[in-house]
């Protein structure tokens, strides 16, 4: 598998994602410039964290218009794997590839720490290496991670099992205290109806090796490789 990591002006986690994808899987990776119309035959696209275009207007609002995102939308529509991490999640929502929006944290402060995530759906290309209900330790680093959608969309996410991760306690309990940003229903990550697009606020790219305090993030990238192998059969 070949991962493609997009670079926007203001990205600051593109190098992290590039390194993590290779270190966690032993696969290839390439950088994709935001002005390009070429995905360079990549099998999976990573929209990384950071502050694309300085987060002017609002997070992800300008990045959605980047030429590369036109190609990402086509790629996703054809069933290609796309993961948006932190700012990448915000961009995917702005681009209409995922429903809902990311608002300011409930405490109106930037939050940077390890959190616990419960795997709500292990039947996706991004969670196949996990067990249902498994608790992962993955760090966050954001100011606008408060996920919101209207009641109808939330009901659809639940009905279609599109909620991939929820913030939880170390024991896997979904509580208000375990929610670091006020996110609706403790949602930390969602996938598209087709399961091939994932957005998550926590950073698997920052915990792909035990040296970083946790290697749980590696499971996300390994799951994508597993899905790619199945698709090629």
Q: Is the pLDDT of residue 158 over 60?
A: yes
| Average pLDDT of span 39-49 | 98
- Position 228 scores a pLDDT of 74
pLDDT tens-digit map of 48-96: 999 999 998 899 999 999 999 999 999 999 999 999 999 999 999 999 9
Alpha carbons 27 and 223: distance in angstroms, whole number? 12
Q: Read off the DSSP letter of residue 210.
A: G
Question: How does the average pLDDT of the chain come out, rounded?
Answer: 96
User: Is the separation of the CB atoms in 5 and 47 below 8 Å?
Assistant: no
Q: Is the pLDDT of residue 168 over 70?
A: yes
pLDDT tens-digit map of 199-229: 999 999 999 999 999 999 999 999 999 987 6
Q: Read off the DSSP letter of residue 43.
A: S
Pick the closest to residue 49 from 120, 110, 128 (CA basis): 110
Compute how many other C-beta atoms are within 10 angstroms of the C-beta atom of residue 150. 11
Task: Report pTM.
Answer: 0.96
187-191 and 197-200 strand pairing: antiparallel
Terminus-to-terminus CA distance in the chain, angstroms?
13
| CA 181 to chain centroid | 16
Structure tokens that stand for 127 in this block: 């969670």
- Phi, psi (degrees; rounded to nearest 5) at 140: -115, 160
Pick the closest to residue 134 from 173, 190, 172 (CA basis): 172
Q: Could you tell me the CATH number of the domain that includes residue 76? A: 3.40.50.880
The number of domains in the chain is: 1
Give the domain range for residue 182. 2-232
């Amino acid at each position: 598998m070949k991962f493609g990591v997009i670079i926007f002006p203001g990205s600051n986690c593109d190098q992290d994602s590039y390194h993590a994808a290779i270190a966690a899987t032993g696969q290839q990776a390439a950088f994709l410039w935001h002005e390009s119309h070429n995905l360079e035959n990549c099998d999976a696209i990573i929209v990384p964290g950071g502050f694309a275009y300085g987060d002017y207007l609002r997070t992800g609002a300008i990045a959605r218009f980047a030429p590369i995102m036109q190609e990402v939308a086509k790629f996703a529509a054809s069933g290609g794997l796309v993961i948006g991490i932190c700012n990448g999640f915000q961009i995917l929502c702005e681009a209409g590839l995922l429903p809902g929006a990311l608002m300011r944290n409930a405490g109106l402060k930037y939050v940077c720490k390890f959190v616990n995530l419960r795997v709500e759906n292990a039947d996706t290309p991004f969670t196949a290496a996990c067990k249902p209900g498994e608790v992962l330790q993955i760090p966050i680093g954001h100011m606008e991670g408060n996920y919101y959608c209207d009641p109808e969309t939330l009901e659809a996410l639940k009905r279609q099992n599109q909620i991939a991760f929820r913030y939880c306690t170390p024991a896997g309990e979904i509580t208000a205290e375990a929610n670091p940003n006020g996110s609706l229903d403790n949602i930390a990550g969602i996938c598209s109806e087709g399961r091939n697009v994932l957005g998550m606020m926590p950073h698997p790219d920052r915990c792909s090796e035990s040296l970083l305090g946790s290697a749980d993030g590696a499971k996300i990238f390994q799951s994508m490789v597993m899905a790619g192998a199945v698709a090629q059969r």
